[in-house]
C-alpha cells in the first residue's frame, strides 16, 4: 500500500482503514465512516482526516456525487480534513464518469461545507504519461496548506526544462483533449481485450 509507505513510514501517521462491504460493491457509506471513526476513538486514535482515492486503484471505480457529498458532510461534522487523491482522474473510460470533489463542493447547496478542510492531490504521471518527471499538484482551499506546500516544494523542484515542456503541452487545449480522448479509447480497448476471456 503506497499510503502506508508515504504516510506511516515517513510521518508516523496511523492509518485507520474504512471497511467497505462487498455486498454493496465496496461503496463508501456513512455507516462505514462512523464505524471506523468510533473504533479509532476507542483505541485512543485521534482522527485528523479522511483520505480517499477517486478513481480507486487498482479497480478504477469512481465515487458518485452522493458518496462524495456524504464524505464532505462527514468531515465537516467531525471537523477533520478530506484529502482526495485524484491521480487517476483521466483514466476513466466508461460510465459512470469521474467527478472531482472540487466540482461536488461547488454544487453543494444544502450542506454546510468548510472548504478549508478539503484538499486535492494530483499528478501528471498517470493521465499524461509522465511518471519519471515527478510533477505533483496540491490544490487546497486552505491558505496555510498552500503556504506549507509552497515551502516544501523547494525540496523537490521540477526542473526548468520540465516546466517549459509541460507548460507548452498543457497550454495546447487541442492536444490535451485529443490525448486524453485517445488514451481513454486505448484503455477501453485494452480493458475489453483483457477481460473478455475472464468469466
β-pairing, 49-53 with 118-123? unpaired
Helix, strand, coil abundance in the chain, percent, nearest 5 = 50, 10, 40
Residue whose entry in the numeric block shows the C-alpha cell 510521518: 11
Report CA 6 to chain centroid distance, whole Å: 15
- Every domain of the chain and the residues it spans: 48-155
Task: State the virtual CA torsion across 22, 89, 40, 28 in degrees, nearest 10.
Answer: -30
* Residue 52 bridge partners (DSSP): 84
pTM of the model: 0.85
CATH class entry, domain 48-155: alpha beta
185's grid cell: 479509447
- Close Cβ partners of 58 (under 8 Å, ≥ 6 residues apart): none
pLDDT value at position 198? 66
- pLDDT per residue, tens digit, the chain (199 aa), is 567 777 777 777 888 889 988 888 888 999 999 999 999 999 999 999 999 999 888 778 899 999 999 999 999 999 999 999 998 888 888 778 899 999 999 888 766 789 999 999 988 888 888 777 778 889 999 999 999 988 888 777 888 888 898 899 999 999 999 999 998 899 889 888 888 876 6
All three cell numbers of 171, joined, read 497550454
Model pLDDT, residue 78: 96
* Cis-peptide, bond into residue 63, ω within 30° of zero: no
Check residue 194 and give its pLDDT. 86
Say what the pLDDT of residue 1 is.
58
Amino acid at each position: 500500500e503506497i499510503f502506508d509507505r508515504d504516510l506511516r513510514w515517513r510521518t508516523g501517521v496511523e492509518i485507520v482503514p474504512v471497511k467497505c462491504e462487498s455486498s454493496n460493491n465496496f461503496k463508501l457509506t456513512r455507516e462505514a465512516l462512523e464505524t471506523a471513526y468510533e473504533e479509532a476513538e476507542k483505541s485512543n486514535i485521534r482522527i485528523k482526516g479522511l483520505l480517499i482515492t477517486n478513481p480507486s486503484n487498482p479497480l478504477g471505480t469512481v465515487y458518485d456525487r452522493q458518496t462524495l457529498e456524504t464524505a464532505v458532510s462527514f468531515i465537516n461534522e467531525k471537523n477533520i480534513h478530506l484529502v482526495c487523491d485524484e491521480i487517476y482522474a483521466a483514466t476513466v473510460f466508461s460510465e459512470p464518469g469521474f467527478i472531482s470533489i472540487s466540482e461536488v463542493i461547488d454544487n453543494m447547496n444544502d450542506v454546510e461545507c468548510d472548504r478549508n478542510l478539503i484538499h486535492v492531490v494530483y499528478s501528471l504521471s498517470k493521465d499524461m504519461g509522465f511518471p519519471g518527471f515527478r510533477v505533483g499538484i496540491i490544490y487546497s482551499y486552505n491558505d496555510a496548506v498552500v503556504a506549507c506546500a509552497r515551502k516544501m516544494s523547494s525540496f523537490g523542484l521540477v526542473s526548468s526544462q520540465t516546466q517549459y515542456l509541460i507548460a507548452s503541452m498543457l497550454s495546447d487545449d487541442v492536444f490535451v483533449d485529443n490525448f486524453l480522448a485517445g488514451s481513454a479509447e486505448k484503455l477501453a480497448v485494452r480493458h475489453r481485450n483483457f477481460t473478455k476471456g475472464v468469466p
